[in-house]
Chain A
């Protein structure tokens, strides 16, 4: 496969590109879903192909072909250069790529139990059993699913990169949806999107869906008759899964350098952040320290090298509440005159690498969830994301959770349905006064982050702990 990628690069250079890189990839995907005790879907996909990127002047071209011969890979390189030449007729400012160490290496994540080798019958029994339990408990829509990705890729660049990686990822989800007279209520485990990591099937065994099936069924039914989350301003405690979503939407996307530079303006949007304030802007309270760290073992945003060949390394994003870093690739970092972050990844061989979150998450703090509840006289605890919406500058958000609990005088009281909260990013993060500790630190994985045109689905990780925020507007409906 290195030879295919090399042929593509040589084709691009021969056609006049001043830089080129190519990724040959072989990918396998498997998913299964069940509903109410029956398997609904079993899908297996395989793909092989080469995607090549060529730089002419300051302009990029990209072309991808499935399963090419050496000759076809070379022609793909030529097509990429032709496309770059067309781009150069509407050029941007001159740009060089940020310098990175050129490596020849191999990398693979730890995978103790190959997910694709676990018998389908065992996987099917797991999902059918979990959904059967919830359905038998009175849930009309009981669903569960798992997904597995097995990706091998070979990167070659005209600068001398020659890196192969084997990345295996998997995870699972379950949900119980109760249908009432006027609305539906849902509880999910372990989270709305499940839980995913760069790990083997041992992750699914650890998640242990069956142990939680009866509980989420009971909670979904109870939500139908629970009182509605009252509107008002109150202290808000978030479970770590919702904190992960809060980080993803209001921090992770906001610090993507391509957004800050306006490259995503028409679709995903821009960012409220101004590079002139990097290093001085207060993003949140002193408790807020966020890193982007692609080296965290088992987290979904981990890898050895990004799709430009930059080695994975941790980058400070917010340190003690001050904005300190961005997510970047070689071209965007060069334009901003910043070190390259190594965050360029593509959704398969046929997509252009773009700036993507790695594992963007909070470092743990000094408190615990129990201490937060005990320290709260009047507030609401919300857990498990249900809806998410944020403006195109990543500033104004409104998020809903599956379940809320009233907190009175330091104790968790009655369940609340339809809990929502809204706020402005830096004000909200500035109100964070309690943060869970290392024992509650979870590397949440988001396997469905959409970005780019044509659309790409990214896998991102979000280390998170429970946290408390003061004076938050809740119950918006």
Chain B
């Protein structure tokens, strides 16, 4: 495999070679699409205030889907040499011939231009281990004697999609994340931020946020479970919206009847507007989805009214619509997922400003280990983490110990339930979908806590 000056694998021509091989092996009537991607990613991890794991990987991926009269199969390999590509295509063709016809096969993506070419920063793509460690050093210094733990990650990737319908798109992307905690002997505080550019991320600033939270969360006391008004900081809000996207707005869930979504219905508070936008300047996405459909901005909720669901080609066919460009790897089982969620900021100020309007409630930094109990009602259980504080008469009065909650996420944003939207902005990377969620803090009328973490 050859690489360019920036260390990126040279992928030119690989996709064309694969399509040519498909024609040669399976005949000219065969359909196929090819994804080729490659790059380098590095992740520097620290714990107990030292770098304990520091890894980098150069990678290449070639994935082909071959379709023979409605029978299809995919195969992938991490090599680009002619022998590997030949073996890849023969494997996919043999598998496609052996499987039954897929009556739901939606066809390949037609030609369509991309809205972007992807966000790219050369310095991030070529970031060295020293660059990442320098950010770690800033973070550790900023926590001022507390214990630090977390990671700094950089990624640079180039990619190409093409298919036998003549559709072809290319793109590239960079991403960087700093995510860490500061620890006292009995409390943790978190700071995290993602960007297209490592240079945007200050270990000192993010570490200082984590340290301030950890100190403010020290000496927590128990609070009885029950229903509380809450201010959720951006990490919690991103978690909440992610569940709604996966289990609600997902076209597969809608088609199968296990989604809450009712289009045109005011299912959310009138102040809620929810957008998915993998094309904006903050996005770390490629310009197209896993089926080669160009990404586009999509309004999911406008003025509290559910306005759209996300589709890949399969769910779109089942629903009688068009793909919205939300196919994800493994989508045959996961469905079509909005992973670049944007909740526009409000006028509520910071999370502490929002807390200033709370009678008696909780200010929460982070959620942990959230799991869905029922997808239809989006009832989720999980715990608070990295800082929870009691708010009384608009004043943050004391830290409390972590609590377990069991809460319908849909109900949490129901009409009348959103009391304020912050003007702060969390830019939060999601490693599961390689995406970025951009959200403010939220002031919600009620949240159901079902136990204390200590029993």
Q: Is B387 located at the chain interface by the 8 A CB criterion?
A: no
Q: Is B181 located at the chain interface by the 8 A CB criterion?
A: yes
Given A184-B375, A477-B373, A266-B382 contact (CB < 8 Å)? no
The segment from A5-13, A312-320, A392-400 found at the interface with B is: A392-400
Q: Is A222 located at the chain interface by the 8 A CB criterion?
A: no
Given A38-B100, A120-B95, A387-B371, A396-B383 contact (CB < 8 Å)? yes
A66 with B60: CB separation less than 8 A: yes
Give how many B residues have a beta carbon under 8 Å from the other chain's beta carbons: 91
Contacting A at CB under 8 A, from B71-89, are 72-79, 81, 84, 87-88
A392 with B369: CB separation less than 8 A: yes
The segment from A14-22, A194-202, A417-425, A438-446 found at the interface with B is: A417-425
Q: Is B43 located at the chain interface by the 8 A CB criterion?
A: yes
A266 with B54: CB separation less than 8 A: no
- A387 surroundings in chain B (CB, below 8 A): 371-373, 381
Q: Is B128 located at the chain interface by the 8 A CB criterion?
A: yes
Q: Is B347 located at the chain interface by the 8 A CB criterion?
A: no
Contacting B at CB under 8 A, from A408-460, are 418, 420, 422-424, 427, 453-455
- B452 surroundings in chain A (CB, below 8 A): 396
Given A183-B374, A391-B383, A422-B451, A39-B56 contact (CB < 8 Å)? no
Contacting B at CB under 8 A, from A45-74, are 45-49, 59-67
B258 with A179: CB separation less than 8 A: yes
From the candidates A43, A91, A262, A386, name the one contacting B147 in the complex (CB within 8 A): A262
Closest to A264 in B: B47
CB distance from A345 to the nearest CB of B (A): 15
Given A62-B55, A128-B100, A67-B451 contact (CB < 8 Å)? no
Q: Considering the chains assembled together, what is the distance between the CA atoms of A388 and B43 in angstroms?
A: 28
CB distance from B94 to the nearest CB of A (A): 8
Q: Is A207 located at the chain interface by the 8 A CB criterion?
A: no
Q: Considering the chains assembled together, what is the distance between the CA atoms of A40 and B72 in angstroms?
A: 9
Q: Is B158 located at the chain interface by the 8 A CB criterion?
A: no
CB distance from B274 to the nearest CB of A (A): 23
Q: Considering the chains assembled together, what is the distance between the CA atoms of A46 and B64 in angstroms?
A: 12
Q: Considering the chains assembled together, what is the distance between the CA atoms of A269 and B386 in angstroms?
A: 11
Q: Considering the chains assembled together, what is the distance between the CA atoms of A420 and B258 in angstroms?
A: 21
A266 with B99: CB separation less than 8 A: no
B73 with A42: CB separation less than 8 A: yes
- A47 surroundings in chain B (CB, below 8 A): 77-78
- A354 surroundings in chain B (CB, below 8 A): 53
CB distance from A473 to the nearest CB of B (A): 8
A66 with B78: CB separation less than 8 A: yes
Given A46-B76, A67-B1, A265-B149, A396-B43 contact (CB < 8 Å)? no
Q: Considering the chains assembled together, what is the distance between the CA atoms of A393 and B63 in angstroms?
A: 39
Q: Is B119 located at the chain interface by the 8 A CB criterion?
A: no
CB distance from A230 to the nearest CB of B (A): 15
CB distance from B224 to the nearest CB of A (A): 15
From the candidates B55, B91, B130, name the one contacting A63 in the complex (CB within 8 A): B55
Q: Is A89 located at the chain interface by the 8 A CB criterion?
A: yes
Closest to B181 in A: A266
Contact with A along B135-153 (1 / 0, CB 8 A): 0110010000001011101
Closest to A423 in B: B455
Q: Considering the chains assembled together, what is the distance between the CA atoms of A381 and B352 in angstroms?
A: 46
Contacting B at CB under 8 A, from A181-198, are 182-184
Q: Is A98 located at the chain interface by the 8 A CB criterion?
A: no
Closest to A269 in B: B368
- B406 surroundings in chain A (CB, below 8 A): 398, 476-477
From the candidates A82, A182, A391, A418, name the one contacting B373 in the complex (CB within 8 A): A418
A42 with B47: CB separation less than 8 A: no
A63 with B74: CB separation less than 8 A: no
- B179 surroundings in chain A (CB, below 8 A): 266
Contact with A along B25-58 (1 / 0, CB 8 A): 0000000000000000111111111111111111
- B320 surroundings in chain A (CB, below 8 A): none
Given A48-B79, A82-B129, A454-B55, A261-B48 contact (CB < 8 Å)? yes
B54 with A60: CB separation less than 8 A: yes
- A45 surroundings in chain B (CB, below 8 A): 75-77
B56 with A398: CB separation less than 8 A: no
Q: Is A107 located at the chain interface by the 8 A CB criterion?
A: no
CB distance from B409 to the nearest CB of A (A): 14
From the candidates B43, B53, B382, B450, name the one contacting A60 in the complex (CB within 8 A): B53
Q: Considering the chains assembled together, what is the distance between the CA atoms of A88 and B147 in angstroms?
A: 18
Q: Is A33 located at the chain interface by the 8 A CB criterion?
A: yes
Closest to B74 in A: A43
B45 with A453: CB separation less than 8 A: yes
Q: Is A333 located at the chain interface by the 8 A CB criterion?
A: no
Q: Is A252 located at the chain interface by the 8 A CB criterion?
A: no
- B54 surroundings in chain A (CB, below 8 A): 59-62, 83-84, 86-87
Q: Considering the chains assembled together, what is the distance between the CA atoms of A115 and B349 in angstroms?
A: 58
Q: Is A379 located at the chain interface by the 8 A CB criterion?
A: no
- B77 surroundings in chain A (CB, below 8 A): 45-47
- A454 surroundings in chain B (CB, below 8 A): 41, 43, 55, 57, 153, 431
- B50 surroundings in chain A (CB, below 8 A): 59, 90-92
Contacting A at CB under 8 A, from B401-455, are 402, 404, 406, 431, 450-455
Q: Is B122 located at the chain interface by the 8 A CB criterion?
A: no
From the candidates A67, A183, A427, name the one contacting B377 in the complex (CB within 8 A): A183
A120 with B99: CB separation less than 8 A: yes
Most A-side CB within 10 Å, residue of B51, B81, B92, B104: B51
Q: Is A366 located at the chain interface by the 8 A CB criterion?
A: no
Q: Considering the chains assembled together, what is the distance between the CA atoms of A304 and B404 in angstroms?
A: 40
From the candidates B51, B57, B76, B133, name the one contacting A64 in the complex (CB within 8 A): B57
Given A141-B256, A183-B376, A396-B454, A41-B332 contact (CB < 8 Å)? yes
CB distance from A88 to the nearest CB of B (A): 8
Q: Is B342 located at the chain interface by the 8 A CB criterion?
A: no
A90 with B74: CB separation less than 8 A: no
Closest 7 CB pairs of A and B: A92-B50, A86-B129, A41-B332, A266-B149, A424-B455, A87-B51, A120-B98
Question: What residues of chain A have their CB less than 8 Å away from a CB belonging to chain B?
Answer: 32-33, 38-49, 59-67, 79, 82-84, 86-92, 119-121, 124, 128, 140-141, 143, 145, 177, 179-180, 182-184, 261-267, 269, 350-352, 354, 386-393, 395-396, 398, 400, 418, 420, 422-424, 427, 453-455, 476-477
15 more A-B residue pairs beyond the given contacts A33-B332, A65-B57, with a C-beta to C-beta distance below 8 A: A38-B100, A44-B91, A67-B81, A86-B44, A86-B130, A87-B52, A90-B133, A91-B51, A141-B258, A184-B375, A262-B149, A269-B368, A395-B453, A398-B381, A454-B41
A-B contact pairs, 19 of them (CB 8 A): A32-B99, A33-B333, A44-B95, A59-B50, A61-B129, A63-B57, A64-B58, A90-B46, A90-B136, A90-B137, A120-B95, A121-B99, A184-B375, A266-B149, A354-B53, A398-B381, A398-B451, A453-B53, A477-B406
